[in-house]
Every structure is written in structure tokens, then in C-alpha cells.
């Protein structure tokens, strides 16, 4: 699984970082999340799916 953030939609609320900090970093100065990993480790895939479900603007794009 790969994951990326659509910055045209992201509103910088930090939720993905709170749900899965292992995959989503958050820059407190830029108020922007970023993806830390190239490929999501299998044991974190469920947390990434949860983060995507909880991302209100639908900015988290999962590629299986
Ligand atoms: S949860 Fe969605 S809107 Fe919030 S910071 Fe992460 S990608 Fe952006």
C-alpha cells in the first residue's frame, strides 16, 4: 500500500498524524501533514485506512 496527501483538499487539522504518527508527520510551523514512508508497512495499513476514513475533506489517497 502507498498513501499520499492531496494538498488541494487538505485543511491541515493534524488528524491523520494523531491517528497514525508512524506514517503521517505534521509540521507545526507550516500546519501541514506529510507522509513519512514510501510504502506503508503491512502492520500499519489498518491505521492508515482509519486515518483516510476520518479525513473530513477526503485528502488522503490510498493506492493499493
Ligand atoms: S487528516 Fe486530512 S485534512 Fe487533516 S491534516 Fe491529514 S490529510 Fe490533511
Range of the domain at 24: 2-63
The CATH number covering residue 39 comes to 3.30.70.20
Tell me the chain's radius of gyration from C-alpha atoms: 10
Ligand 1 pocket, mutate which of 4, 8, 12, 56 (most atoms under 8 A from CB): 12
Cell numbers found for residue 20: 497514525
Angle at 62 between CA 56 and CA 64, to 5 degrees: 155
Condensed to tens digits (0 to 9), the pLDDT of residues 7-27 reads 999 999 999 999 999 999 999
Distance 8 CA to ligand 1 centre (A): 11
Q: Which residue has the cell 483516510?
A: 52
**Ligand 1 lined by 20 (C-beta under 6 Å):** no
pLDDT tens column, 24-37: 999 999 999 999 99
pLDDT digits (tens, 9 = 90+) for 48-60: 999 999 999 999 9
State how many domains the chain has.
1
pTM: 0.95
Amino acid at each position: 500500500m502507498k498513501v499520499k496527501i492531496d494538498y488541494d483538499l487538505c485543511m491541515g487539522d493534524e488528524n491523520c498524524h494523531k491517528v497514525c504518527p508512524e506514517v503521517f508527520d505534521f509540521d507545526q510551523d507550516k500546519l501541514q501533514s506529510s507522509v513519512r514512508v514510501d510504502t506503508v508497512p503491512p502492520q500499519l495499513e489498518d491505521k492508515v485506512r482509519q486515518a483516510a476514513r476520518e479525513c473530513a475533506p477526503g485528502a488522503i489517497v490510498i493506492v493499493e
